[in-house]
Structures are given as structure tokens and as C-alpha cells.
Structure 1
Amino acid sequence: MALPKANILFGNAPEDPELSKAEISTRFDELMGALDSAPSRVLGPGDVVQAFTEGRGISFEQQPTSAYGAMTKALGAPDIAKGLSPEALASVTNALDELKAQQPDLVKDLTTSSPVSTGLVAFDLEAPAKMLTPRPTPLRNRIPRKKGIGLSHRFKVISGFTGTGTGGVGNLHPGIQDTTQNNFAPAGASNSLYYARGPKISYAGYDKTVAYSQFSVSDQVSWSAQYAGQGYQDIRQLSRTSLLYSSMLLEERMLLMGRGTSGNGFIGALSAPTGLTLTARSAAGSETAITGLTTNIYVKVTADAGDFGQSVLIASAVSVAPSTQVVDVTCTLPAGATGMRVYVSTGASDPGDAARWLVGRSSTNAFTIQGALPTSGIAASTVTGDTSAYAAGYDGIVPICTGPDSGYVNRLNAPLSTANPGSEWQTAFAALYDAVKADPDRTLLNGSDRKQLSDSLKTSASSNYRMTITQDQLTGVTLGDVVNTIINEVTGKGVAVEVHPWLPQGIAPILSDTLPLPDSEVSDVWSVFNVQDMMGVDWPVNQFAFESSSYWMGTLLCYAPAWNGAITGIKKSN
């Protein structure tokens, strides 16, 4: 600790304001001599042990925490007081009092807010950052991945022959008599060639060609981010890991909801909804009357394609709704739509798509406009064309299971049945069996829809189901039950009920993993063929950044769409 300068301590002594430099020096030397001659003792470990052995306590005084405190304590020591003249002691004391007022930092303690407002403390920062990012990919983990070559994948299908009842091939009676003759001339021959033989059977078949598509996502880490993060987290490692998981999650969503263009062998874009109608009515139950209304309500809708887009807009409809009313929006949705998106605006005249905002989405063909009308958000003007299908894309499970080649599609536009729980699936199982003798393996549901299915058992008036709540030997009961299997009442097979984390509410694909057909040459109904499976690329550094990309090239194939189906338009339960 440094002492104040001599001229500060003694230069303006009140008893003698005209002290000479020699006198000031003399007094300062006396102070230094008194401090140096003050007795001191260092207390060692032996002294502590001896003190406690003799029953004596040791007092550790609170030490000064500032320069002012240290000087004041030192001047109060008897040895220093004796070594200084009264005039010198008074000068030092007065000078310290003036310093206390002029330089508050000399007497201010160090605290958690002083001298720095955030404190002279360490930050208890735990490294690295926590990755609270769900990344389940059940389809990608389950569906077989096989090697592809070239620009497309092609296979041929025999879809039926006489007796199968499939492929549009009719049946014939095989009975013959001795006089029976049938024409065996080659197809297209100008003459006939009859033999005494049974009639020839017929075949149906088709070629299937689907294009491979390329996929990629990228990420970038600036040098400043990488080097500034040293000691906390490896930012490049975080970037690469996130890029990998992002690629896998996007592929999972493509496997579920992707939609390719018809020119590449896929189903193609969704058409717009039709038959849009608006009906104003009084708000009922838990509904909230519309607010923010000026004169009229103008509505446009699109067919929802899930994660990747929507159809084009349908022409607007108009309705007048008084302040006590809501407006029901209904339309006819095209096959394959997961629901609809509703855009609304208000005014004496139609303000146009730039002022028409997304008010919500529905998994059915109906939506109720209620509450405050939106005045911002996603504008209808952003829907400048179809985004439901992509040239660099393929058909996923939902488009295939709801498409023209699917074995069964039913749009409920209603909640699941509580009178006969699971009846929607039993109807589907029966239809699939009648069509191609399909025996599905599993059905996918959104979590909300699975809960609704499970709840239907509890609210069912049918006596076919009973739930028992049992009490254990100690205390408490277990509440709740869940449907994990639906027994196919046609074949007796158990169909697994699985929740898919990214499946939109309102649709339940019904899937066959294998075919109940011997020698079908189809080991897996669903397969991913990749010319190049997923890989990572670190690009050469050509700027102050580390850049990476993922890349894969392939497609999803369903060899037997007719052995799959879907229940759509499941209305969410309240």
C-alpha cells in the first residue's frame, strides 16, 4: 500500500500553514521511522497450536479493506503515536480526513457492484451449449436403403392375370367339353387358329419409371465465430453435427410428405379446392364472435400439402358477418390434400391478396373464422404459384397412400367414432382385403389423433370395451390407456399403431411393409434407392469462413401402392 505524498500530509498543516520544505521532510521522516520501528510479529502454526493447548483463544481482527482504513488503524497504534510529535500526528490525521472527502475510492469497499456494476466476479457459464433439438427419424431408420444407378429407377409390374381379380383382368369359366375349341392365333394375326384346348388366360401390367433427385443443405461458420468460441465450444463441430441432423430430418419429412412432379413419374401438384362457400352464423359454445370487421369478409383458400407447400389460391368468396357472428368456411378438397389453408381480409371492397392474411389451417374441409381478424402475418400475395410439388423431389408416403394408385382413401371430415372405436380402420381393412387381399402391418397417426382414438374407448357407449383401474398394494392408481394395436377383423392380424412425430394432424396412413403373396419378388414394399447416399462435403476455404454441405441423390419407391391406404380429414377433438 503506497502512502500519500509528504506535501499532501504536512504541506497545509492548520497549526503552521507556512511550513518549510525542510520541516515537511522532517515530519515525514519521523512518520516513516515510527512505522518502521513499530513492533510486529508473524503468528506461525506453532503459536496457534500452543495457544489452543494452553486454553487461550486467538482473535483474528477484521483487517482494513481500504487505504484510508489501513492508515487510520496504523495511526491509532500506541507505538506510532509515541514516535510522532503531536503536531505531526495532527497533520497526518487532518490530511487523511481531507483525502477521504476528495478521493472516495480510498474508503469505498469492494462489493459485488463496486467498482464495476457487474461485479469483479467470474461467470458460472457451463459449456457447451445444450442441444434441445428433437431429431427423431423413424421412417429413415426403418425403410431399407438400396443402391441405385443412373438418372432414374425402373421396374415392371404384372398387376394381374386371369383369376386374380386385380389389374382390371376379368375372370372366365375354365370348363371344357370334347368339342371345345379356342382361338390360339397370335394377337393381331389376320387369321384364326383354333385348338381343342381350354381358353387362354390374360395379363395386365405396366412399367414404372421414377427419376432420381439431388438434395443438399449447407452451413457456414465465420472465422470470428470459430476462434472466439475457443474454450467454450467447437463451433465447426456444432455446425457439422447440426448439418447432418438437419439433412436427416429433411429427408424424413420428404419420405413422409414429399411430392414430385408428374413429368418425373410422380403424382404431381395438388389442384386447388373447389366449391368454396362462406356461411355467417351466431357464435356458439366456446366460439368467439369476429372482431376487427369493417363491412365484408373476403376469403381465399388453398389445398394444404403439409410441410413443403400448398396449391394455388381459389377465387375469393365474400360474406357479411355482424359483430355477434362467426363465419364457417367449407370447400371440396382435392385428393391428397392434408387439409386447407384459409386467408381472410375485410373491407367495403376486396382489398386484394396483399392485405389478405393467413387466419389458420384445417385438416378437414371446414374452418370457422372467429375472434380478431389478422392484420399481419403471411399474406395471400405470397402464394404466387403452386408449391405442393417439386421437380427435384419424389412422392412420399402421404401422397402415395392418398393418390390415385392407393388401395383405399376415406376423407372423414369428422372426429373419430366413439360409438364403435376403430371402425374407420376396420372399414379400410375390409376394403383393402376385398381389392387385393392386402393385410396391412401398421398405421401412422399424429399424437393428437392417437389420443383421440384412445379416448374413444373411454367415452364409448359400447359394452364391448371395459377399462379397469387397479390399486397397487401401497397407494395410488394408474390412469390412462393407449391403443397400440388394432386387430384386423378381416384377417385377425394385429396392426401396430405408431405415432409419427412429423405427421400432420388429421391423416392416418395405413401401410404394408411386406406383401402376403408368395413369390411376389417384392421383399420390401417401401424402399429408398440412392445413387449416392448421404455424404458431407467440406468446401475449400476461399473466404473468412468454414463452409460445409450435405449431398445425396435418390428416390423413394413403393412397389405396391394398392396394398396401402389412408384415412384423412380426421377432425381434431376439443
Structure 2
Amino acid sequence: MNIAQTTQETLGLMKESLAKNVTVSTGLTAYDLQAPAKNLYPTITPLRNSLPRVARLNPGDAARWRTISSVTGSGFDAMGWVPEGQRSASMSYQAVLNTAPYLTLGEEDTVTFEAEAAAQGFEDINATATLRILQKTMRKEEHALMGGNTSLALGTPGAPTLTASGTGATLPSATYSVIVVGLTFEGYSNSSLAGGISTTKTITGNDGNTYTLNGGSSMRSANVTQAVTLGQTLFTTAPLINGAVAYAWFVGPAGSETLQAITTINSAAFSAPLASGQQSATVIAADNSRNPTLAFDGLLTVGFNPVNSAYVQALASGTAGTGTFMTSSGRGSVVEIDNMLVQMWNTYRLSPTVIYVNAQEQKNITNKCLTNASGPLIRYNVAADSDNGGPYGVSASGVVRWYYNPFSVDAGCDIPVKVHPDLPPGTILAYCERLPVWYQSNQTPNVAEVMTRRDYYRVDWPLRTRRREFGVYTEEVLAVYAPFGVGILTNIGNG
């Protein structure tokens, strides 16, 4: 047998083997990976997008401005009468110096040399990593603009009030002890039943240095006990905490209370057996509600801080576990929102230009406004170019997109009602973005601005290992010139 014949027979045997054994599952196929990677995460930043960003020429260490908050006339402030040939006395001013230090926000990432080489032909991994860092920094900035907290400490809450009543519950008979902890906007964002209440977190930076952030929780309250018999529900109500948008409830035998609920009203009800393995109340050992040197105040904190004289209304405690609902006026509006609008007009002669709500509150506002009583007030719009001869179309459901404010010298205005992705249920933020013309708006056109010492910039750190290290940072502060342009409704029950 010659070599040619042997080779031909060998090839024949190989073909027979491949024909019998090679399938798609063998893996001998092309790998069709679509490029670039799909970034399937939301980047919603309505406050960051809408707030004016102003770069200062010589920023220094802080933004500073003087506010003339009142002008008081001589004599009777509302009377200007002067006798013939005589002079009026001098009016007086109230001027305040405001200082807002610039703070830094940022995020970092790394790309190894191997990852960089392996990504060739797929995507520019350094560029896309930078984009993702920038987007995450913007999301963190959105949280800061909404509820950063440097000035308002929640302190130690008052002890809750407990009762037990009802039938049909499955909570075992025992004497239960309850402790409450208040949560700021940041505390609510950073906490969960599974992960526990945020207290402090120590971060080790990529430079090896460490720093500590407070998570946004108050000190724990004193405990209160209540005997419960089988069939009864345990009800608990805490004193309202100014600045808190949520409350964490620790329940159990005295000395062994664990986290059982987080509510956005100041009460809770427990009718089922308690969950095991939850965070212990002893973890809450201090007031960690603010970051006095690392943060600036967001709009919620500015509004809650009593020194700023913003409109804040916490709804009454109401029924424990249920709270107090917003009230329909019977004429297509909500009583509590109407009260806020008229109070802001009567006190400061302005109106909010936007109302931010949680999805829960948008639904509740719609239910309060679109009632049988308000039916005659509903307007049906048809486009002028529609085909009146064709079939009619009906859209199911409906939502309140605008809220009309009649309290204004220019015959009122429509205020957009917008769902904010981070605003907790039970809290509504009304915000006047632009001062009306009678506030000398050429000098102070905006209620608030993001003052930037150095806006978004990327830092490429020197190589020290076989990986590229870079970060995106911004140095800024939220300057709120007219804090009375903020209105807050909170402690709103879901209904």
C-alpha cells in the first residue's frame, strides 16, 4: 500500500467520523457577540438636568452671597404718607451673609491591560467605562441635590406609643418591645429590611486612605413594651421627626428587638409572626443622620430645616399603620396641596413651578382629583385635524399631569406634576425653580443653582500596576438663594 492510498483512506475515515459526531452542541461554531455591550440600567436625573449649573471665575473655597430678606419702611410699613414739605424717615434692611463650601462628588473604575486587549474589536472599553462612571456620578449627584444633609440632625426620637387590639391576627401572644429609628432621605435610600438600617460606612479609597460616611439614620429611641394576646394586632406610633421621610421599627422581646418594618409614615402595625435573622437594634448606637463636613444640603433638607422658613406640613399620625390620607376637595383638587399653594402665596407671593411626587402619590393625587364630584370639571380635548367621521378612541386610565394654582397676580398657572425616581412614598416636594418678576429676577432669576468650582472632569492616575485607574469627579455646591421657594408635604398615608 502506497502513501497516497493510505492518506486517502485516512481522510475518508475522518470524514465519516465528523459526519457522525460533529453537531452544533460540539461548540465548533462562530461566536456572534453583538457590540457594544447593552447598558440596561436607568440614568434618571431630573433635578440635575433642570438645575442651572453656574461656573464661578474665582471660586475659592466656597460660594458666598448676601441675601436682603426684607425691606421695612419707616413709620407704619404699609403707609407712605408724608406731610407737605417734610421728609420721611429711613427704611431698614435685613441682610444675611450666606456661605456654602464647595464639596466633591465622584466615582472611580479600573481597566486591566488584559481586559483592554481582549475588548479590541468589541468596544473602546476605556471610553465606555468612563461613560458609566459619569452616569453613576450623576445618579449620586441627583441623590445629593434631592436630599444631601449637612445641617439637619434627627437626634433621638421620642419613644413610640403602643396599643394592641382586634381579632384574627396571627402574632403570637407575648410582651413585645418596640424601638423606632428615623430615616432621612439618604437613610431611606441606603436602608432595606434585608440589608438593615444604614449607620456608617468606612470607605477605603483607591489611594489607600479611608473616610467614613454617615448613612442617614437617627439614634434609636427608648423602648416601650406592650402585652399582646393571640388574635390581636400590635399598633405603634412614633412622635413626628422633622427631617425624617421614613421610620424603621425594631420589635421583639425587650433587649432583643430586631428590624421588622420600614414605613414612610410615623406608625406601623404588626399582625403576623416576626421575621427572624433581622438586624438588631443595638447596631443603632448614635445619630448618623448627617455628614457635616462632606455633604451639602439638598432641596428636601433645605425645606425641612426650620431656619429657612420653607413650607412644611406633616400630615397627622392618624390610624396606626394606616396614617392620614390626602383629602379630596370635591372640586378636582387636593386640600393639602391647595393649602400649601395658598400659604406660599400669602407669605411669599410666589408659586411652585414643579411638583415632584413618588408613583404612589401620583396615583393618590389622581384618585383624589378624578372623582364623581369633579366629573363636570373634566375637559375633553380633540385635535382640530382629527377625523370626526371616523371611529372614536378611548384611552383607559388617566393621570393628573398638571395642577392648577389660582393664587397669582397673573390669573394663575399650571404646575407640572412629575414622578421622581428617588422620592420616597409619602412625601411631596414642590419647588419654585424661577422667582417671579416682582422679585427682581434679573438679579436672582433662580431659586437655586448648582455652583461649580470644577465641573465633571476625568482623572487618569499614574500607572502602578498593569491596570488603568481613572475617576470622574465634580466640585460643586447647591446654592439655594430663596429657600422659601420650597414646599414639602410629608407623612402621607397611602390611600
Listed as ranges, the matches of 1:498-517 within 5 Å are 498-516=418-436, 517=438
SS at match of 1:374: coil
| Higher percent of residues as strand | 2
SS at match of 1:376: coil
The reply to whether residue 409 of structure 1 matches residue 312 of structure 2 is: yes
Counterpart of 2:263 in structure 1 is: 362
Give unpaired runs (5+ residues) of structure 1: 1-27, 37-64, 71-105, 181-195, 261-266
1:134 is displaced (CA, Å) by 0.4
Letter in 1 for 2:223: S
Contact 2:73-2:92 within 8 A present in 1 as well: no
Name the CA shift for 1:499/1:320 in 2 (closer, same or farther; >3 Å): same
Contact 2:315-2:489 within 8 A present in 1 as well: yes
Contact 1:401-1:510 within 8 A present in 2 as well: no
Contact 1:419-1:460 within 8 A present in 2 as well: no
Residues 105-157 of structure 1: per-residue CA shift (max 9 Å, x gap): x69921538xxx75444444434332111002111111111123111122111
Distance 2:179 2:117 in 1: 51
The reply to whether residue 316 of structure 1 matches residue 236 of structure 2 is: no
Residues 370-393 of structure 1: per-residue CA shift (max 9 Å, x gap): 434222344434434333211211
Contact 2:175-2:226 within 8 A present in 1 as well: yes
SS at match of 2:339: helix
Distance 1:108 1:401 in 2: 75
Residues 446-498 of structure 1: per-residue CA shift (max 9 Å, x gap): 12211211122334545554476999934762112221221112222222212
Distance 1:485 1:319 in 2: 46
Q: Give percent identity, aligned residues only.
A: 27
Letter in 2 for 1:297: Y
Contact 1:336-1:399 within 8 A present in 2 as well: yes
User: How many corresponding residue pairs?
Assistant: 441
Letter in 2 for 1:320: A
Name the CA shift for 1:200/1:108 in 2 (closer, same or farther; >3 Å): closer
Distance 1:120 1:505 in 2: 53
1:563 is displaced (CA, Å) by 2.7
Listed as ranges, the matches of 1:44-123 within 5 Å are 67=13, 109-112=20-23, 119-123=27-31
Counterpart of 1:210 in structure 2 is: 100
Counterpart of 1:78 in structure 2 is: none
Letter in 1 for 2:241: P
The reply to whether residue 490 of structure 1 matches residue 407 of structure 2 is: yes
Counterpart of 1:73 in structure 2 is: none
Name the CA shift for 1:519/1:175 in 2 (closer, same or farther; >3 Å): same
Listed as ranges, the matches of 1:434-445 within 5 Å are 434-445=346-357
TM-score, structure 1 as length reference? 0.69
Counterpart pick for 1:387 among 275, 280, 288? 288
Name the CA shift for 1:107/1:479 in 2 (closer, same or farther; >3 Å): closer
Q: Which deviates more from structure 2 when the two are superposed, residues 243-252 or residues 411-420?
A: 411-420
Distance 2:87 2:392 in 1: 79
Counterpart pick for 2:358 among 446, 449, 452? 446
Name the CA shift for 1:151/1:130 in 2 (closer, same or farther; >3 Å): same
Distance 1:151 1:121 in 2: 60
SS at match of 1:571: coil
1:200 is displaced (CA, Å) by 3.7
Distance 1:108 1:372 in 2: 64
Counterpart pick for 1:276 among 140, 150, 160? 160
Contact 1:469-1:478 within 8 A present in 2 as well: no
Distance 1:412 1:268 in 2: 20
SS at match of 2:228: coil
Distance 1:68 1:561 in 2: 82
Counterpart of 1:99 in structure 2 is: none
Name the CA shift for 1:558/1:200 in 2 (closer, same or farther; >3 Å): same
Residues 21-63 of structure 1: per-residue CA shift (max 9 Å, x gap): xxxxxxx79xx79x99xxxxxxxxxxxxxxxxxxxxxxxxxxx
Contact 2:328-2:335 within 8 A present in 1 as well: no
Name the CA shift for 1:381/1:233 in 2 (closer, same or farther; >3 Å): farther
Contact 1:411-1:570 within 8 A present in 2 as well: yes
Name the CA shift for 1:406/1:173 in 2 (closer, same or farther; >3 Å): closer
Residues 64-121 of structure 1: per-residue CA shift (max 9 Å, x gap): x983996xxxxxxxxxxxxxxxxxxxxxxxxxxxxxxxxxxx69921538xxx75444
Name the CA shift for 1:472/1:340 in 2 (closer, same or farther; >3 Å): farther
Counterpart of 2:277 in structure 1 is: 376
Distance 2:15 2:347 in 1: 98
Name the CA shift for 1:107/1:158 in 2 (closer, same or farther; >3 Å): closer
Distance 2:236 2:304 in 1: 23
Name the CA shift for 1:228/1:283 in 2 (closer, same or farther; >3 Å): farther
Distance 1:69 1:171 in 2: 105
Counterpart of 1:568 in structure 2 is: 490
Counterpart of 2:390 in structure 1 is: 473
Larger radius of gyration: 1
Give unpaired runs (5+ residues) of structure 2: 188-215, 317-323, 383-387
Counterpart pick for 1:222 among 112, 120, 123? 112
Counterpart of 1:250 in structure 2 is: 140
Distance 2:161 2:97 in 1: 42
1:443 is displaced (CA, Å) by 1.2
Name the CA shift for 1:107/1:251 in 2 (closer, same or farther; >3 Å): closer
Name the CA shift for 1:125/1:463 in 2 (closer, same or farther; >3 Å): closer
SS at match of 1:146: strand
The reply to whether residue 532 of structure 1 matches residue 454 of structure 2 is: yes
Q: Which deviates more from structure 2 when the two are superposed, residues 310-319 or residues 243-252?
A: 310-319
SS at match of 1:67: helix
Contact 1:364-1:571 within 8 A present in 2 as well: yes
Distance 2:399 2:407 in 1: 22
SS at match of 1:249: helix
Distance 1:426 1:245 in 2: 37
Distance 1:535 1:68 in 2: 60
Distance 2:115 2:279 in 1: 33
TM-score, structure 2 as length reference? 0.79
SS at match of 2:54: strand
Distance 1:175 1:469 in 2: 52
Q: Which deviates more from structure 2 when the two are superposed, residues 227-236 or residues 550-559?
A: 227-236
SS at match of 2:274: coil
Counterpart pick for 2:341 among 409, 429, 433? 429
Listed as ranges, the matches of 1:150-299 within 5 Å are 150-162=60-72, 171=77, 173-175=79-81, 197-260=87-150, 267-282=151-166, 289-291=169-171, 293=172, 295-299=174-178
Distance 1:209 1:357 in 2: 42
Name the CA shift for 1:282/1:496 in 2 (closer, same or farther; >3 Å): same
SS at match of 1:155: strand
Q: CA RMSD in A?
A: 3.3
Name the CA shift for 1:463/1:126 in 2 (closer, same or farther; >3 Å): closer
Name the CA shift for 1:162/1:539 in 2 (closer, same or farther; >3 Å): same
Q: Which deviates more from structure 2 when the two are superposed, residues 556-565 or residues 120-129?
A: 120-129
Counterpart of 2:196 in structure 1 is: none
Letter in 2 for 1:157: T
Counterpart pick for 2:181 among 271, 281, 302? 302
